[in-house]
């Protein structure tokens, strides 16, 4: 699913801005974890969870590249890719650690406890995105000359 949704996430990000796409992505993640916790059965909520993450990729790339001057876009692209990969690794590690602390495989109830925590973390991400200040800049003018150091 990421192969198909990541490019689709870029289309509205270039037209309406990064924020609305990020809000949709967080909402899908929170809905997926809530669905998995509330209705524990195979594949429940998996499609929403698989849809949320790739929608982050295009807006993040768009934001990092539009904040860089044209001659710095290669560095911005490399930095954004490295930070994205690090965030994925740390996100999985933190989620696995919190799941081990608050959920387990010993019983269905213990397993669901970890999913509720994941739903809460995704909802917190959605709240932060909703409360974040809106950008008033529409990106950089490509014709600008580089500033002197």
From CA 80, how far away is CA 65, in angstroms rounded? Answer: 9
The range of the structural domain enclosing residue 53 comes to 2-131
**By the 8 A CB rule, do 30 and 122 touch?**
yes
Could you tell me if residue 86 is inside a domain? yes
Could you tell me if residue 34 is inside a domain? yes
Percentage with pLDDT > 70 across the chain? 78
Count of structural domains within the chain: 1
- pLDDT over threshold 50, residue 141: no
> Which DSSP category does 103 fall into?
-
Could you tell me if residue 138 is inside a domain? no
| Three-point CA angle 38, 54, 127, nearest 5° | 55
First to last CA, the chain: 43
The alpha carbons of the chain give a radius of gyration, in whole angstroms, of 18
Could you tell me if residue 137 is inside a domain? no
Could you tell me if residue 70 is inside a domain? yes
Two tokens at 60? 């993040």
Give the pLDDT band of residue 115 (cuts 50, 70, 90). confident
Predicted confidence (pLDDT) per residue in 23-76, tens digit: 888 898 888 888 888 876 665 555 556 677 777 777 877 877 888 888 888 898
Could you tell me if residue 16 is inside a domain? yes
Could you tell me if residue 141 is inside a domain? no
- pLDDT over threshold 90, residue 119: no
Which class for 43: exposed (0-12), middle (13-18), buried (19 or more C-beta within 10 A)?
Answer: exposed
Helix (H) or strand (E) segment spanning residue 15: helix 2-16
Could you tell me if residue 117 is inside a domain? yes
């Amino acid at each position: 699913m990421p192969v198909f949704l990541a490019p689709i996430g870029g289309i509205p990000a270039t037209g309406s801005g990064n924020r609305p796409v990020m809000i949709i992505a967080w909402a899908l993640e929170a809905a997926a974890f809530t669905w998995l916790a509330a209705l524990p059965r195979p594949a429940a909520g998996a499609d929403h969870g698989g849809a949320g993450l790739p929608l982050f990729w295009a807006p993040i790339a768009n934001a990092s590249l539009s904040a860089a001057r044209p001659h710095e876009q290669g560095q911005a692209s490399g930095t954004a890719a490295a930070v994205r990969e690090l965030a994925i690794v740390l996100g999985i590690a933190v989620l696995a650690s919190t799941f081990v602390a608050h959920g387990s495989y010993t019983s269905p109830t213990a397993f669901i406890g970890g999913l509720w925590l994941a739903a809460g973390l995704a909802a917190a991400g959605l709240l932060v995105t909703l409360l974040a200040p809106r950008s008033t800049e529409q990106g950089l003018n490509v014709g600008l000359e580089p500033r002197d150091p």
